[in-house]
Amino acid sequence: MQYRTLGRTGVQVSSLALGTMNFGAFGNISEAETTPMVRRALDAGVNLIDTADAYSGGVSEELVGKALKDVDRDSVVLATKFRLPVGDISRLGEAKGPDVMNRQGGSRRWIVKAVEDSLRRLGTDHIDLYQMHRPDPATDIEESLSALTDLQRAGKILYIGSSTFSAAEMVEAQWTSERRSLARFVTEQPPYSILVRGIEADVLPTAQNYGMGVLTWSPLASGFLSGKYRPGAEAQRSHRDRLAAGRPMPPANAYDTLKREAAEKLYILAKEHGMSLIEMSLAFAAGHPGVTSVIIGPRTLEHLETQLPASHRTLPGELLDRIDEIVAPGTTVKPGDTHAVVPALEKANRRR
């Protein structure tokens, strides 16, 4: 396992991080399955574990806490997130009203409660990295940073970070921290894979300019880079997609066809270089000089075992050039896969 400095914090983290979104109802796995996965990752040298209060309505945090119960707390860099609604995943997106709206977001009122709930579920007295899961256009970023600064001074969180912020939002947050003498985001957590390279154009350079660590998620592009979408195979949906808010998934579109075609070319390329598509995809994400750690999200121990070998892989320049020919630098095959929301482009805010 390789280790890198998390931004300018001085903290050393593994090049692969264990993501736990699949712990609980999202992945339909229990403590009997999650604890061995955590222990195996730790044995392999993974020391960064990432979760969120919204994952399975808090169950993911509980399972992580149980898995780490007998583990030396100082040997683990524990990261979690706030901002998204916490509750029954089958009802997310349906519930409305002020009570529900106040149980999410970036307000001081919610952050103070959310951190206490996460500490309780994780069974710890501090969180190493507390991240804002998404921007909150309804809340002044100064309010969020002020609350996070107070929690940092109280010792409940050590560092703060953002997740899926645009480059402009990252700059605004950094500028606000400097102007108001508040704690600053030391990390950003964006989606990044061979099929989703948009952050190479702005987010990664911005993070590098500000000395931020970058923890990337969805390195296998929601399964498109796992090898399961090969020609002739029956169309499949990820377990996460089937459960998303209890809503049926839309039919595959032209962008999905382009993703499958690119994935097939990448599969053949990986095979030519003596590795699996999974290994090549993870090594690609980890190899960018602006990336600190790649968050993997295995649903089973078998999945984890197929991903761990990537920690020893370094892709040669010739192979990177071939990948660039399939998906050009700075581009995203399916624009929506950036997961970034631009409030100004929401229908209510357009010029109509």
Catalytic residues: 55
Q: Give the C-alpha separation, 85 to 264, whole Å.
A: 37
**Look-up of token digits 């509980």:** 62
Determine the Cα–Cα distance for residues 240 and 247; give it in Å rounded to an integer: 11
Phi-psi group of 292: left, alpha or beta (phi > 0 → left; psi -120 to 50 → alpha; rest → beta): alpha
For residues 209 and 203, give the distance between their C-alpha atoms in angstroms, rounded to a whole number: 10
d(CA 167, CA 185): 13
Residue 211: phi and psi, rounded to 5, are 65, 30
**Integer CA distances (angstroms), 1 to 48, 207, 312, in order:** 12, 23, 6
Residue showing tokens 């090594």: 283
Pairwise CA distance, residues 119 & 101, whole Å: 22
Alpha carbon distances (Å) from 245 to 47, 54, 63, 78: 31, 12, 21, 27
